[in-house]
Every structure is written in structure tokens, then in C-alpha cells.
Amino acid sequence: MRTGIATVCLSGTLKEKMQACAIAGFDGIEIFEQDLVTSPLSPEDVRKMAADLGLTLDLYQPFRDFDGVTEDLLAANLRLGMDTILVCSNVATATIDDDGLRARQLAALAELAGDHGVKVAYEALAWGKYVNDYEHAHRLVEMVDHPNLGTCLDSFHILSRDWDTAPIEDFNPDKIFFVQVADAPKLSMDVLSWSRHYRVFPGEGQFELAKFMGHVVRAGYTGPVSLEVFNDVFRQSDVERTAVDAMRSLIWLEEQSAKWLDANAASVSNGRAGNGGAGAKAAGRRRYPMELATLPQVAEPAGFNFAEVKAADTAALETVLGQLGFEFNGRHRTKDVQLWTMGHARVIINEQAPAAGDSAGSPAPAIAALGFDVDSPVIASARAQQLKAPVVPRKSQANEEVFQGFAAPDSTEIFVCQGSPDGTAAWINEFGETREFGAGLEVPSGSRNAVIDHVNLAQPWQHFDEAVLFYTSALALEPQPYAEVASPSGLVRSQVMQTSDRAVRLVLNLAPLLQQDGTRHKTYQEHIAFAVDDLVATARASRDRGLDFLQIPANYYEDLDARFGLDPDFLATLQDLNLLYDRDADGEFLHFYTATVGSVFFEMVERRGSYDGYGAPNAPVRHAVQYDHLHQLTK
Amino acid sequence: MRTGIATVCLSGTLKEKMQACAIAGFDGIEIFEQDLVTSPLSPEDVRKMAADLGLTLDLYQPFRDFDGVTEDLLAANLRLGMDTILVCSNVATATIDDDGLRARQLAALAELAGDHGVKVAYEALAWGKYVNDYEHAHRLVEMVDHPNLGTCLDSFHILSRDWDTAPIEDFNPDKIFFVQVADAPKLSMDVLSWSRHYRVFPGEGQFELAKFMGHVVRAGYTGPVSLEVFNDVFRQSDVERTAVDAMRSLIWLEEQSAKWLDANAASVSNGRAGNGGAGAKAAGRRRYPMELATLPQVAEPAGFNFAEVKAADTAALETVLGQLGFEFNGRHRTKDVQLWTMGHARVIINEQAPAAGDSAGSPAPAIAALGFDVDSPVIASARAQQLKAPVVPRKSQANEEVFQGFAAPDSTEIFVCQGSPDGTAAWINEFGETREFGAGLEVPSGSRNAVIDHVNLAQPWQHFDEAVLFYTSALALEPQPYAEVASPSGLVRSQVMQTSDRAVRLVLNLAPLLQQDGTRHKTYQEHIAFAVDDLVATARASRDRGLDFLQIPANYYEDLDARFGLDPDFLATLQDLNLLYDRDADGEFLHFYTATVGSVFFEMVERRGSYDGYGAPNAPVRHAVQYDHLHQLTK
């Protein structure tokens, strides 16, 4: 698949955009007129720079109705060395709805373009005045039947209108001059604003893009597949990083399209799309004019292998984990890390070197890394690297397990580890057997099966969509519909990513802006939640050990009573232990939170029945109490 | 008018919200259930705190369909000492569209509420399943005819659906239990999302709120007028500041409602609304049960009196102004400021003390203050202060003009000055006659009538709406529809505020987030534009004096030619002098920009014919060149 991207997707100058596209590995770019007009580079400079960078110049977008396309414009196109110009269906100047007239105008344009050696790709805008359906645009192209006139298929304009994409298969591939792809969240708003501000890269929204691409591939199209994503956030973000995010989305789309084709091989029609299709099916593999690259295949992770927190002063973390009932499993024999375990839940405390000089600069406790159980760490790591995840080096001595790691967009380090059926991890033998803290403590029976239930990470506003695609593509997690939770600092957007069996649940929170400071949000608190069999017992034991619980206000329990009419003894127990409660048709959820250490706190949960949520109705209480506590500290 | 505000409008804890409301001067508040449930304060604590703060507790909002209202909830209401609960029309649980059934349910609810001494205000939500029209809700209230059941009128639910508000006048005021007001920009999106995220305070959106309130007043309503504004930005902003913004919006709405009533006195019906209406009209003044306070009246400003820039090192500013053709009019006799003039355009350079120690902390050149010509500075200043603008002290010696000043939301200091018909200003005599720089320079004839054409200020994201209301209410500027301009750092939202005669034009720019750093945006450039009669002559003279023009790329002129087909000599002149050009049906616009000094640059413009814009098509070129320049500097 030939990959491309429109310059309008990215921030920066035309030169910066082109360099970032080359670094990210794109084959070609589409140039928007405005990027050229505002650039100090002449068209010839742009042409040479593209050649030097190994980028093809695939399409020029003047953003005009086709009666505004002049000889000057076509000449400029040629100076860039481009042979294709995009012309959109009329939104304003057209006054007559007459396909015959439109065909004559398009024919004249194609003739003019032909005189200059330029091809015209005609596209139906979703909000076109008369032509807003891609099949209509294609019919006009067929009517004109000129070698310099074809159509451009843009997934946004097609899928935002819910048009059926199957008819694409029957298009003559010679008449498809260009394919543009964009994803989008499903929003109920006017389609023009939706298109201009909220498009995202494939895999970051809710459109069925693999299916769209499947039909395009079956039609026999072999040209560029180019991203055209108007997004207010991407236009403000670091250009090189966004270009990598964009490239990742096409690599992922390529794989997903191939999978869709495999899964839907039976439905291949006998028409043009069958070139290779039917025969390939018989041979057990597909073959289409467009080659689709594949990635190393991974299943969803089987669970969390560990969570890692880091701190210069680890005392407070050690205390809280001990109070929760974690056992100290000693220090690593060669690294400055500690292992703490409770049942199958493993927490590594990474002892950071204090900052030289004053202690204020020393790293406060924060979530640093997550380990996931996978079938093959090597394959999973290879897949992530092909998806352009930066490798995280972690030194290992001989006879120690090698950790394959890469960095997530929020800078959390992700390690893919060898899972084992019994839930153990071979690397724990690298830790000493000392049990200094917690030795002799009674481990409550309800904690013996403890596991990491979920991890909640804050995401910077400019990298939220990137994170969703990253965890989707590199770790095979599935994004769920997002929720918005009220907090005293603003609404928090909460995006759950999980495996189908819920063995891994990751919650990405887009924090209010004033709680963000650059790439990671030290003022926004993140947490690790552990599931136990008996939360009440765990809470009692933790209280006996002196745990500092997050204090839940009395009003909460009155409201709980009004909402659920709980047994008075049970309600009293909840209130006594600062436990929170939720219930739905599938089951019940009990949980409590610890006070915060640095930017980290911990949660203990018990899931009863098939309860599948996170106690979302309780989140505002948690946010309010944490906010209050933080403000009292900083006053 | 009794003023109120819902706690959901503000950030922070319930306690912080209540304190901020009291400081801002509200009479009462509406409490949202979630704010109480998440608070460590008991209902009795809240009741006492409200009394101590002088706030009434006007309404409790449990956010439930009315079949969810229980005795527990009504009891909680009483513990707060509130007598009114809001119940909204059903959006989900209702399955039968039957007014008879609904009336029986509402009657039962009113009876239950009556037993607890609580009144129920029933409101039609804009997205109610069957009841989504305020007249429908009112009909149900009339059907039930119970003393404990009335209706709540919410301007958003009414105006978002474009319902006619005139029928409100015929409502029995005893059946209107509550009035909520919110403004909003007109957006084409689903009304629920619009309501939950994009409401703004009155005067910050596009709803006809004065008319709505006029009808409410004529109906004879005397209860609280309470803000209920769900806004993602306000929920993240400083609570005390937002509360002041909110209070300002009600003060302004009160005045606008009185004006609407005056202007529409003739159309008063003879019904209930006439109590006082007809008689008052005969007596030349209105009188209604609700008293509407007025503000000191001001006309729109007659022009800019001056613009002030500040810097620790003023050399670069002096050089640029001199090169543009400004004359140095000496230093002030008692203050560390310089006066520079060109025709009627006056620029003050405020010499800031350098920061102690290293020079890096010294203030870079920035726009500091704007002076406006008004009829009466004392009245204008009194109005601004009643609108809660903070006073800016500026010391004056005897015999010096006293500057009445107050601070705008973006921290720009606004001074209201005595205008004079001939465009002079008395205070210039406080400056020495020395003309050190520019003495002997030829002032080109085209500059003799120079005036400040417009000033462009950057606004922090969390105070943009506040700024629009501020300049509307305190300075009588009129907001125009906003534009979005592409820049390499993201889209820039550009909001023009101007007088009807265009003597004052102020452009508020909401800069991309990454260019913002706290309250003022040092990386986002602001500018002052001057209008002259002959831009080409001004540009030539400036070039002769060595001005560093913003360099416009050659591609721009090719595009200009393609778009407008300009005379080749004229085009060559434009390109030679780095001039930009725009044209519309009303006239032409020529302009150029200087290089940036600190965070300030200057623009010179010439308006030909009745051209009324700002060369918006050229703004992306300006942004791109400035961005490129800034990046080269910081590399």
C-alpha cells in the first residue's frame, strides 16, 4: 500500500511538515494550496526537497469550486511536478441541479487540465450542494469519460453520511484517481464542523475503515492511500510526533484491511474485484493488485505481569503497600528495584536516584511502567516496533530475564513479558528472599487471589487520540465508549481500553487542562487498582495496619441509602471502612482508595457477580475528596 | 432583580463555590445534588454557611425524572433549609405520551412535596421525550393547579428550540417558581451536548436574553434569576474569577432587559403584564413588580486615545516607531514614559524597571494598556466598576490629567479618557517638547491623518468568553461573528469587537494552546495597527528609514495575481514593499507588518472605499512567516 498524508494534518511550516513525513516513513504527500502560498519555498524548491526526502508529491488541493480552476493554477501544479489536482463538488456557486451541465463543465475542465498534462480528481463533499454522494460523483466521471478526469474517494465524506461502501467494488479502478482516509468519532453535529475540526487518524474513531478499504482494494485500486485529517489538536501538536502517529494509523489500517478481506473472502463478487480474488480464495490466500503488508500477529495480553512505580524516596510507597497487605519480596540482585506481591499482583518499586542538590527536584512517586503477559515477548515487541513505538532499553545481566520494552505516548514504559498458566513470573527469582517488611503479617485469605484489576493513567490533551491508537494497535486492547466524569477541576474524559476477557483493563483519563503540565501530569493523580475476593476483610486488615484511607463524606452514604436502600448493617460497614459501592443489573462493586503518595494512589476492588464497570457514579466523590485534600496541602 | 447561580457553573468544592458566590455579590445559589453528595459539609453545615455568607439557598437539583423523587430526597431538601426542588420533564423512563397521566403523577408528587413543605418546579427539557416545550410544561402545571407545583423557565431549553417567548407574558406569575438563564453560541449539534458543554453566561452567546427576560418581567415574576451554565471551560477556571464573570453577566442582563422593556413599551399587552405597564407608559416610565437596577450609561467610545507598550529595554520599540514615521514627543515630566505620535495616533512607551539580577527576567516589549475616548471618563469608569472591573491605580501629580483605569480580563489596562472633537488629547502637554529622534525627518503627507485602526490582543483560553462580555458591557463594543484562521501552530479564533462607526476596532485572538503560558501569552504575538491615507508612500518612507518589514513569500504574490489579476506594476510594487492586499465588493485593503519586538509588532493599513475587514485571507501568511522567524531564532 502506498502511504500518503495531506500537509493540513500537521503543524508547522511546509518544510517542517515534509521533513516529518519523510522521517515517519510516508511514501508521498498531498499539498494544500495554503501551505505553499505561505511558504518561502518556491514550487521548484518544494519539488526538489520532496525528491531529496524520497517523497512523491501526489495531489494538490486548491480548495476551490471547479469553475475557479484556472490555467495559472494548473501551471503552478506543474511547477510542483504534480500531475493530479483535487476538485470538490460545488457547495456555493452552483445554482442549477443538472447533471448534464455539470458533466459538460467537468469535461471542459478535464480538457483544459489535459492540455497542461494534469489529471483532475473529482470528489463529492458530504455537504456538497447537489453532489454529496460518492456514487453520484463517480457517475459524472463515467458520463464525461475523459482520460484526465477521475474520482477521489474520501472515507470521511462517505462514512459521515452512512453511504454503503460496497458499490466501490464495481468502480473501474482506472477512474479512481485518489483515495483519502480519515476516521472520526460519531458526533451529532453539522457535518462541515465535524469534518473540519474532529477528524482523527484511522483507529482513533468509530468509522468502519477496514471495510471501506477492503472495497477499495477489491475494486483493484493501486494508488496512494492518503490521510486527510483536519483536527484542531493535531494542528497544535509536535509535527514529528503527529506524523509518526499518522503513519502508525496507516500501518494498522493496512493490517486491518487485509484481515477484513480474509474474513470476507466468501463475499467477493465475480466482477472486476475478482481479479485474483476467486482464484486466490481457492488457493487459500487473497491476491489483489494492491499489496497489503502484514504485521507480526499477537493475541490480546493474558493479564498484567506487574506494575512499576518509581520514587526517589520510596518509604511512603513501601508503607502503603505493606498496609494494604503486600509482602516485600526483596530487592533485585543487580538493579535498584524492590518487589512487592499480593497474590498474583506484583508491584515493583523503582528506586530513583535523588536529584543532585535540593530534594525538591527529586522524582516524587509516580507510575513508571506496566508489564503485560503475552504469548511471545519477542513477537509482541517486534509488532510494537513496526508500529513505530520507541524501544525502551532495560539492561539485563546474564541469567536474568530480558524485558522487551517500548514507550507509550504518555511516556509510560510498556514491557511485554512471558506469561505463565499459573500466574507466576520467572523473573521474581531474581529477587532476594528477604521479607523484611510484612514478615509475620497475616495475609487475609481474601487477598490470596489478588490481581491487578486495572490501571488508570493520565493522558496529555495533545496525545489522547494517539494513545488510544497505540494501545489498540500495539497491545490489542479494545477501546470502549468513553465517559465524562465531573471533578472540581473540570470534566474528566475517561476512556477504557480492555481485553475481551477483561484480564487487562486500562483506563486513560484526559485530565482538565489546568491539571496538566507538559507531557505528564504531576498534579493529576494516577492509580493502580487490585481486585481481591473479600474487600471488607482486606479493608479491615488494612485499617488494622494503619492505612490512610481516602475519607468518604457522610453525605455519600445517605445518598447511597436513598439510591439503593441497602441493608443498614451493610451500609454501616461501608461507611465505617470508607468503602464505596455500586450496583447494576449484572452485579455489585465494592472499592476503596488510599491517600495519594506523590502522584500515585491505590485502589482495592471486589467485583461481585458479573459487574463490569469501575464504579463511575463514585468517581466524582473520589475526585472531590482528592481535590479538597490537595488544596488543603497547598494552602 | 434577585440574582442567583447554580453551583454547577463553577469549579472547586461546594465551600469554595459558596464563598466565591458571596464575594461576587450573588443573592442566592442553586445546589446540585452532586455538589452536596461529594462534600464533607453536612446539609446543616451548608445551611449555616449560606446564612453566614448572606446567600439564600434557592433551589435543589437532584437531576432525576420525577418518578425518582422520594421522601428521603425531600427530607434532605428540608435539612438544607430549601423549599424548592427542580424536576425535569422525563427523557428516558416515560413510555406513554398522555398528559392526563402526567398530570396525575405531577399532582401526586406535588401532594407528597406539600406534605414536606417543599415546592416542585417542573421544567421542560429541550430534549424531553414527550414534554420539551415550556408552554406544554406550563399547561400541565395549570391542569394540576396545586399550590406546591409551578414551572421553571430555563432560557436555554426555550431558546435552543427557537420557541417564541412572548406567551410567557400571559403566565400566572404565581405559577412561575423559578427562572434560569443561560446564553449559548448558535451551534448545529445535538441539543444535549450543546447544553451540557457549550452554555455561556448572558452576553457571551447569541441568544436574545433581554427579550426573554422582558417577557418574564412583564408576566409579573419577582423570584430569583439564576444562572445555570454548563461549560467545560468555566468548570476548569478559577472559581472566584468565574463567579465575578457570572455576576457581571447578570448585571448586564438586568440593564439590557430594562432597555428592551423601554424600547418595547408600546407592545405591552393588556393582560397581567400590564400591571404598571400601561400606566407607567403614560407616565413615561415603566414599573413592574420586579425592579431592574440600571447602570451609568455610556455611549460607545469615539476612538482610541492611545496605545501603550512597555519594555525594560525600549530601544527596539523606539527604533521601529521612528522608522514607521512616528515622532518622539518627549518624556513625561513625572513618569517614566515616552510619547510617540503620528497624526492622531499616539503610542506611549512605558519604561519598565529592569528585573534585579539577570536581564532574562526583565519584561520584554508587550502591549500594556489602551486608552479610549469617551464622553465622560468618570461615568465610564463608574460603569466599569459597577460591572466589577478591578480599578487600576495610576498616580497623577497636581495639574496632570487623572486617568481613570480598570483591568480587562487579559490584564490589559483600559483607560477611559476625555475625547476631544479635534482628536487631540490634553495630557500630551505633560510631555516635553523635545524631538530627539525623528527631528528633521520628513513626515510623509499620507501619514498626517494617521489613527489607530485596530488593536489585536491575545486571550487566555479560560477567559475568552469573559473578555467578550467585558468589552461588550464595560466598553459598549459590539462582538462580530468570529473567524478561524490557520496558523502553523494551530487554528486561531479571531473575535472582532467594534463600535458601529468602526472608530474602535479591537480583535481578540484565542491563540493555540501551546502558544499560551498562563495568564498572558508571551509566545503569541499581539499588535497595534495604524491607518494611513497612502500606504505605499508610508512603506517607501519606512523602508528608506531602514524598517525591518515582515518578509512576504513570493508564492503569495503569484497567488494574489491568480486570484485578483492585478495590474502588473501595482503587483510589483506590492511585492517590492512586502505589502499585502485584499479586496471585496466594498473596497480594497493594503497593509504591511513590521518584524516583532518582544511580543509586539505593528501593522500599517490603508482602507480604500468601504472595505471593512482586516485582510483575513492574508492572516495565514502573516502567521506562517512569524512562526518561521520565531523558530529560526529559537533554534
Q: What is the pLDDT of residues A460-497, one digit of tens each?
A: 888 999 999 999 999 999 999 999 999 999 999 999 99
Give B-chain residues touching A514 at CB under 8 angstroms: 236-237, 462
Cβ-defined contact of A625 to B38 (cutoff 8 Å): yes
Distance between CA B269 and CA A513 in Å, rounded? 50
Q: Is the pLDDT of residue B517 over 60?
A: no
Instruction: Give the orientation angle of helix A239-263 with respect to helix A14-24, to 10 degrees.
Output: 50
At residue B276, does pLDDT exceed 90?
no
Q: Flag whether pLDDT at A424 surpasses 70.
A: yes
Closest alpha carbon within chain A to B561: A72
A527: closest CA among A500, A547, A507?
A507
- Coil, strand or helix at B45: helix
**Residue A32 to residue A43: CA distance in whole angstroms:** 12
Average pLDDT in the A243-247 region?
Answer: 98
pLDDT of residue B433: 59
Q: Do B631 and A13 touch (CB under 8 A)?
A: yes
Contact A38 B462 (CB under 8 A): no
The string of DSSP codes covering A107-171 is HHHHHHHHHTT-EEEEE--TT-SS--SHHHHHHHHHHH--TTEEEEEEHHHHHTTT---GGGGGS
Q: Look at A13 and B628 and tell me if their CB atoms are within 8 Å.
A: yes
pLDDT tens-digit map of A576-610: 999 999 999 999 999 999 999 999 999 999 999 99
pLDDT of residue A475: 96
pLDDT tens sequence across A194-206: 999 999 999 999 9
B38 vs A555: CB contact, 8 Å cut-off? yes
Judging contacts by C-beta atoms under 8 Å, the chain B residues touching residue A631 are 13, 16
pLDDT digits (tens, 9 = 90+) for A66-116: 777 778 778 878 888 888 999 999 887 777 889 999 999 999 999 999 999
**Could you tell me the pLDDT band of residue A401, with boundaries at 50, 70 and 90?**
confident
pLDDT of residue B523: 65
* pLDDT tens, position by position, B45-100: 999 999 999 999 999 988 777 777 778 778 878 888 888 999 999 887 777 889 99
In A, minimum Cα distance to B493 occurs at A232
Amino acid code (one letter) for A392: V
Whether B72 sits inside 8 A of A488 (CB atoms) is: no
Please say if the pLDDT value at position B209 is more than 90. yes
The three-state secondary structure class of B577 is: helix
Work out the pLDDT band at B436, boundaries 50, 70, 90: very low
Q: Scanning every residue of chain B, which has its alpha carbon at the shortest distance from the alpha carbon of A69?
A: B562
Give percent of chain A with pLDDT exceeding 90: 76
- Chain A residues whose CB is inside 8 A of the B70 CB are 562
How confident is residue B321, by pLDDT bands cut at 50, 70 and 90?
Answer: very high
Shortest Cα distance from A179 to chain B (angstroms)?
Answer: 25
**Rounded to a whole number, what is the distance in Å from the CA of A425 to chain B's nearest CA?**
41
In terms of pLDDT, which residue wins out, B420 or B212? B212
Q: How many CB atoms lie within 10 A of CB A244?
A: 21
Check B461 against A620: CB less than 8 A apart: no
Residues in chain A with CB shorter than 8 Å from the CB of B33 are 559
Is A371 exposed, middle or buried, given 0-12, 13-18 or 19+ CB atoms closer than 10 A?
Answer: buried
Cβ of B36 and A555 within 8 Å? yes
CB spacing of B556 vs A188 below 8 angstroms: no
Residue B230 C-alpha, separation from nearest chain A C-alpha, in angstroms: 11
Of the partner residues A37, A72, A627, the one whose CB lies closest to the CB of residue B556: A37
Across chain A, mean pLDDT equals: 90
Contact (Cβ atoms closer than 8 angstroms) between residue A261 and residue A285: no
Q: Which amino acid is at B570?
A: F
Query: How many CA atoms, within 13 angstroms, populate the side-chain half-sphere of residue A627?
Result: 26
Please state whether beta strands B337-342 and B345-351 pair in parallel, antiparallel, or not at all (unpaired): antiparallel
In terms of Cα–Cα distance, which of B182, B183, B240, B249 is closest to B387?
B249
Question: Could B490 and A232 be called an inter-chain contact, meaning their C-beta atoms sit closer than 8 Å?
Answer: yes
Residues from chain A contacting residue B237 (CB–CB below 8 Å): 514
Q: Is A210 helix (H, G, I), strand (E, B) or coil?
A: helix
**Which pLDDT score, from 0 to 100, does residue A607 have?**
98
Alpha-carbon distance B338 to nearest alpha carbon in chain A (angstroms): 37
> How does pLDDT run across B10-35, given as a tens digit for each residue?
999 999 999 999 999 999 999 999 99
Name which of A386, A447, A460, A451 is nearest A423 in CA terms: A451
User: What is the maximum alpha-carbon separation in chain B?
Assistant: 90
Q: Following DSSP, what letter does each residue of B56-116 receive, concatenated?
A: EEEEEE---BGGG--HHHHHHHHHHT--EEEEEPPSSS-----HHHHHHHHHHHHHHHHHT
CA–CA distance, B295 with A72 (Å, rounded to integer): 58
Once rounded to an integer, what is the mean pLDDT over residues B314-332? 95
Cα A2 from Cα A224, distance rounded (Å): 5
> Does A13 contact B189 at a Cβ distance shorter than 8 Å?
no
With residues binned 3-state (H G I as helix, E B as strand, rest as coil), the percentages for chain A, rounded to 5, are 40, 25, 35
Optimal mutation site among A37, A493, A623, A631, interface B, most CBs of chain B within 10 A: A37
Alpha carbon distance, N-terminus to C-terminus of chain B: 58
Strand partners, B309: B349, B367
User: Exposed, middle or buried, B315 (CB in 10 Å: 0-12/13-18/19+)?
Assistant: exposed
Inter-chain CB pairs, A–B, below 8 Å: 150
Q: What is the ipTM of this complex?
A: 0.90
Residue among A10, A42, A555 with most chain B CBs within 10 A, to mutate = A555
Chain A interface, best mutation among B37, B80, B464, by max A CB count within 10 A: B37
Chain B: give the shortest CA distance to residue A494, in Å.
Answer: 15
Given a cut of 60, is residue B274 above it in pLDDT? no
Q: Tell me the chain B residues in contact with residue A6 when contact means C-beta distances shorter than 8 Å.
A: none
pLDDT digits (tens, 9 = 90+) for B354-411: 876 655 567 789 999 999 999 999 999 999 999 999 999 877 776 777 788 999 998 8
- CA-wise closest residue to B441 among B544, B325, B530, B321: B325
- Contacting residues for B603 by C-beta, under 8 A, at least 6 apart: B453, B527, B528, B529, B530, B591, B592, B593, B594
Contact A232 B623 (CB under 8 A): no
pLDDT of residue A435: 46
Q: Are B178 and B59 in contact (CB under 8 A)?
A: yes
| A438 torsion bin: left (phi>0), alpha (psi -120 to 50), beta (else) | left
User: Which of A10, A19, A32, A38 to probe by mutation at the B interface, max B CB count within 10 Å?
Assistant: A38
Residues 6+ away with beta carbon under 8 Å from B399: none
Please list the helix, strand and coil fractions of chain B in percent, rounded to the nearest 5, in that order: 40, 25, 35
User: Among B19, B20, B51, B46, which residue's Cα sits nearest to residue B33?
Assistant: B46
- In tens, the pLDDT along A149-185 reads 999 999 999 999 999 999 999 999 999 999 999 999 9
Chain A residue numbers touching B37 (CB-CB < 8 A)? 553, 555-556, 559, 620-621
Q: Which of A446-460, A571-585, B82-96, B462-476 has the lowest mean pLDDT?
A: B82-96
The pLDDT assigned to B197 comes to 96
Which residue in the set B11, B70, B491 is minimally distant from A490, CB to CB?
B11
Which among B72, B190, B554 has the least Cβ separation from residue A562? B72
Contacts of residue A512 in chain B, CB cutoff 8 Å?
235-236
pLDDT recorded at residue A281:
43
Of B37, B189, B486, the CB nearest to A621: B37
Chain A residues whose CB is inside 8 A of the B235 CB are: 486, 489-491, 512
Is B268 a residue whose pLDDT tops 60?
no
Cβ of B76 within 8 Å of Cβ of A558? The answer is: yes
Among A8-12, A284-288, B197-201, the least confident range: A284-288
The CA distance from B178 to B192, in Å, is 21
Name every chain B residue with its beta carbon within 8 A of the beta carbon of A555.
36-43
- Determine, for residues B488 and A12 on separate chains, whether the beta-carbon distance falls below 8 Å: yes
C-alpha cell at B532: 494611513
Q: Give chain A's largest Cα–Cα span.
A: 90
- Smallest CA-to-CA distance from B249 within B473, B20, B4, B479 is with B473
Question: A455 - beta bridge partners?
Answer: A506, A528
Residue from B72, B51, B588, B40 nearest A627 by CA? B40
Predicted TM-score (pTM) of this structure: 0.92
Distance, in angstroms, between B55 CA and closest chain A CA? 21
Q: Cβ of A555 and B39 within 8 Å?
A: yes
Query: CA of A330 to nearest chain B CA: how many angstroms apart?
Result: 40
Q: Tell me if A295 sits within 8 A of A380, measured CB to CB.
A: no
Q: Tell me if B562 and A70 make a contact (CB, 8 A cut-off).
A: yes
> CB–CB of A11 and B489 under 8 A?
yes
Q: What percentage of chain A has pLDDT greater than the value 70?
A: 91
Q: Which of A458, A503, A470 is nearest to A345 (CA)?
A: A503
Question: Is the pLDDT at B270 greater than 50, yes or no?
Answer: no
The helix (run of H) or strand (run of E) holding residue A470 is helix A464-475
At A400 the pLDDT is 78
Q: If you average pLDDT over every residue of chain B, what do you get?
A: 90
B185, with CB counted inside 10 A (0-12, 13-18, 19+), is middle
Look at residue A270 and tell me whether its pLDDT is greater than 60: no
Cα separation of B631 and B523, whole Å?
Answer: 11
Radius of gyration of chain A from Cα atoms? 28
How far away is chain A from the Cα of B592, in angstroms, using its nearest Cα? 15
Mean pLDDT of all residues in A416-442: 68
Mean pLDDT of A384-412: 87
pLDDT band at B632 (very low <50, low <70, confident <90, very high): confident
Express each pLDDT in B173-205 by its tens digit: 999 999 999 999 999 999 999 999 999 999 999
Cross-chain Cβ contact B512/A13 below 8 Å: no
B498 touches B505 (CB < 8 A): yes
pLDDT (average), residues A606-634: 91
User: pLDDT tens digits for B483-506?
Assistant: 999 999 999 999 999 999 999 999
The DSSP 8-state label assigned to residue B597 in this structure reads: B
